[in-house]
Structure 1
Amino acid sequence: MPSARKAGLPTVWGSLAGKTYLITGANSGTGFEAARLLLARGARAVMLNRNAEKTTAAIERLKQALGSNADVHFIRMDLGDLASVRAAAKEVLRSVPRIDALICNAAIAQVPERKLTVDGFESQLGTNHYGHFLLCGLLFERIEVSGGRIVVVASLGYKMGLRTIRFDDINWDKGYSANAAYSQSKLAQMMFAYELQDRLAAANKTGVKVYVCHPGSSRTSLITTSGGLLTRMTFWLMTKTPMVQTAEQGAYPEVMCATEDGLEQRAFYGPTGRMEFVGPVGMGTLEPYAHDKPVMKKLWDMTEKAAGLSWSL
């Protein structure tokens, strides 16, 4: 492990000139910091965000920090609307000739009351899992041609819920719990990634690497944007302690997974310090139920039908 990574700093890479990185949810938090870190190394960053106004402001901040020549672009996409995901993917294929990594960073969390996406899915599962599944599938051939990567940004929150997928009531028509629904959505993202690893290996498509990481406990707007009052207050109190790190530090795992060689795929990268909330980036604890094969396969088949996309691998 390079000494710079031991220190928690992503200073081990050289130039990323000529490389292109797509990042969902990149107008704030860890996604914004990931874009900044990649742009600072000469890469091209394409932000896939829902809010155009916030993205315009984010791009202005990046250009002020890095110079007017920073190669950053915006394609509007709402992960909670599969038609929007399809339209964004079409625009990516039209305007982005190579994809060195698709970083699935965007998320909503701890939505206090049950809401449905426009497609009828529980909002956290629909946004965090279904939207990213469809995006990855639609862009896969471009990623494969580029010899690129898929980076799924999950969460330690996958341990908070049932530790499996609630297939009999996946949209929480009964007994909705903000934390449990969020946990299921992040577990679903991880299972998608690990099942994709297996399917790529079986198809001898080893040119595309799939990595899973998490930001630990980082100062971002995720909780304040979608969480309930009690959740927001609890997190605000946490930010006053050493158990929460900066958004830039939270971006290190996804940047590492997007750029660094020699990483293991069946792994969960993130902070390795206290409770794996903060600290230097490395391989963390991966619970076996996160890659329970029968559950992963059932989830994949169900998701293909729900998203209206059948992957040919």
Structure 2
Amino acid sequence: MAEYANRENKKIKWFTDWEKSDVPADLSSKTYAVTGTTSGTGLIFCRTVANRGATVYMLNRDSERAEKALELVKAGAKDPEKVFHISCDLQDFSSVKEAAAQLTKACPDGLDVLVNNAGVMCHPNSQTKDGYSSELQVNHLSHFLLTAEVWGLLEKKADETGDARVVNHTSGASQLVFMTAFFGFKRGVNPRYFEKDMKRVGGDGFVGRMQRYGQTKFANVVFSHALATKQSKVKSLVAHPGVCTTPLTNHHSDSQSPFMTRMFKKGFDKGEQSCEDGTMGILACACLATAGSGELHGPKSFNFDGLPAKSDIKNTAMGTWFSQKPEVSVEKLWEVSKKATGAIFPFE
């Protein structure tokens, strides 16, 4: 789309200098598995670590876009033979399980970092073959399942090196769950968005879409905090990109909400940062030696742009005294996610 192409050419403000000074120059001993890498932050992430010699598994649906992304990453990789495609459709739990099985076979020595990057924003209110909201399944449920399925790989690497990680990708929209305008006084994890009744997960209007998206992004935060508190062997971190130019909102040209289309296509244009700058958060979580479990990395205080700042997930992203208590959010999310996916974590 021409409109997106014009927005995409944002000037890189911090990324070039930051990656040279902060991201390790040699990642040849590291193995990364990343979802959603055909464009946006996922593609930039893969290009950055592959350029430093890492082994990279790009988890995408089979498509021409996936093939082009694979070739693009290979072209800039220090060793193109260490970059791979794994078929993974996040709208299909069986595909996620098969992708995990392929990863397990491909990584007998373990996995250093799983980056749950893929996401859709304010997607039309559609249902997957598994029965759930497509937005919820792509943004959270399938990542919950994938993480459980490859947990053994992460633990194996943690036992060997003392440093294996899961990185989730949230956004400032996670904080919508604390706004009375969107959720009244029912702040925090709302179980109805994790049900199969599409009449209860919001409609296609502006408020309904933002409610649904906010719940999925808060789920990313809570899932990260849950992993950090339920076990200590594998590090759990979450990143946010600020507001940056990615194809995340491309489908809004066909939206039933003209206001939303105008807001995301034009309203944020001057405040957006480049996609490269927006990728610094997940790179910090996945690559920095100083990054620790239970941390949030991204523009400070959920700002639109800026260098990645480190903060505590619980204190920064899980509400205040008048909100749902963090431990309540964790247990609610854990319960509904396990029920939906059938996932089992070894540490339970």
TM-score in same-fold range (> 0.5):
yes
Structure-2 residue corresponding to 1:203:
none
Counterpart of 1:254 (choices 282, 286, 289) is 282
Is it true that 1:268 corresponds to 2:279 in the alignment? no
Structure-1 residue corresponding to 2:8:
none
Matches of 2:104 and 2:166 in 1, distance apart? 16
Pair 1:244–1:306, CA change in 2 (3 A): same
Structure-2 residue corresponding to 1:286:
316
Counterpart of 1:235 (choices 264, 272, 282) is 264
Counterpart of 1:151 (choices 167, 179, 188) is 167
User: What residue identity is the alignment partner of 1:95?
Assistant: A
CA offsets per residue over residues 77-123 of structure 1, 9 Å max, x none?
01111011011111111112331100000011101x31111111111
The offset of 1:236, in angstroms, is 2.4
For the residue of structure 2 that corresponds to 1:151, the secondary structure is strand
Matches of 2:20 and 2:335 in 1, distance apart? 37
For the residue of structure 2 that corresponds to 1:115, the secondary structure is coil
Structure 1 contact 20–45 (Cα < 8 Å) conserved: yes
The offset of 1:168, in angstroms, is 4.1
Identity %: 28
User: What residue identity is the alignment partner of 1:166?
Assistant: N
Structure 2 contact 125–133 (Cα < 8 Å) conserved: yes
CA offsets per residue over residues 147-206 of structure 1, 9 Å max, x none?
210000111111124341222454452343111101101111211111111110xxxxx3
Higher mean Cα deviation, 126-135 or 188-197? Answer: 188-197
Is it true that 1:244 corresponds to 2:272 in the alignment? yes
Counterpart of 1:178 (choices 167, 184, 209) is 209
Is it true that 1:38 corresponds to 2:53 in the alignment? no
User: What residue identity is the alignment partner of 2:156?
Assistant: V
**CA RMSD in angstroms, aligned pairs only:** 2.4
Structure-2 residue corresponding to 1:224:
250
The offset of 1:226, in angstroms, is 6.1
Structure-1 residue corresponding to 2:4:
none
Higher mean Cα deviation, 48-57 or 77-86? Answer: 48-57
Matches of 2:26 and 2:78 in 1, distance apart? 17
Unaligned runs of 5+ in 1: 201-205
Structure-2 residue corresponding to 1:49:
60
The offset of 1:66, in angstroms, is 4.0
Structure 1 contact 101–149 (Cα < 8 Å) conserved: yes
Structure-2 residue corresponding to 1:277:
304
Structure 2 contact 225–294 (Cα < 8 Å) conserved: yes
The offset of 1:70, in angstroms, is 5.7
Structure 1 contact 217–250 (Cα < 8 Å) conserved: yes
For the residue of structure 1 that corresponds to 2:295, the secondary structure is coil
For the residue of structure 1 that corresponds to 2:57, the secondary structure is strand
The offset of 1:264, in angstroms, is 3.8
Matches of 1:100 and 1:223 in 2, distance apart? 31
The offset of 1:21, in angstroms, is 0.5
CA offsets per residue over residues 264-288 of structure 1, 9 Å max, x none?
4333210238x61111111257233
Higher mean Cα deviation, 13-22 or 63-72? Answer: 63-72
Structure 1 contact 10–256 (Cα < 8 Å) conserved: no
Structure-1 residue corresponding to 2:34:
23
Matches of 1:312 and 1:140 in 2, distance apart? 8
Pair 1:225–1:75, CA change in 2 (3 A): farther
Matches of 1:298 and 1:258 in 2, distance apart? 27
Matches of 2:112 and 2:83 in 1, distance apart? 15
* TM-score, with length taken from structure 1: 0.88
Counterpart of 2:221 (choices 166, 190, 194) is 190
For the residue of structure 2 that corresponds to 1:48, the secondary structure is strand
The offset of 1:9, in angstroms, is 3.8
For the residue of structure 2 that corresponds to 1:184, the secondary structure is helix
Matches of 1:51 and 1:247 in 2, distance apart? 23
- The count of corresponding residues between Structure 1 and Structure 2 is 302
CA offsets per residue over residues 246-297 of structure 1, 9 Å max, x none?
1111111111111112224333210238x61111111257233387111211
Larger relative helix fraction: 2
Structure 2 contact 50–76 (Cα < 8 Å) conserved: no
CA offsets per residue over residues 23-63 of structure 1, 9 Å max, x none?
00011100000001101111111100114311111122223
Pair 1:67–1:178, CA change in 2 (3 A): same
User: What residue identity is the alignment partner of 1:104?
Assistant: N
User: What residue identity is the alignment partner of 1:308?
Assistant: G
For the residue of structure 2 that corresponds to 1:294, the secondary structure is helix
Matches of 1:291 and 1:131 in 2, distance apart? 25
Unaligned runs of 5+ in 2: 1-13, 159-163, 178-182
Is it true that 1:297 corresponds to 2:331 in the alignment? yes
Structure 1 contact 188–299 (Cα < 8 Å) conserved: yes
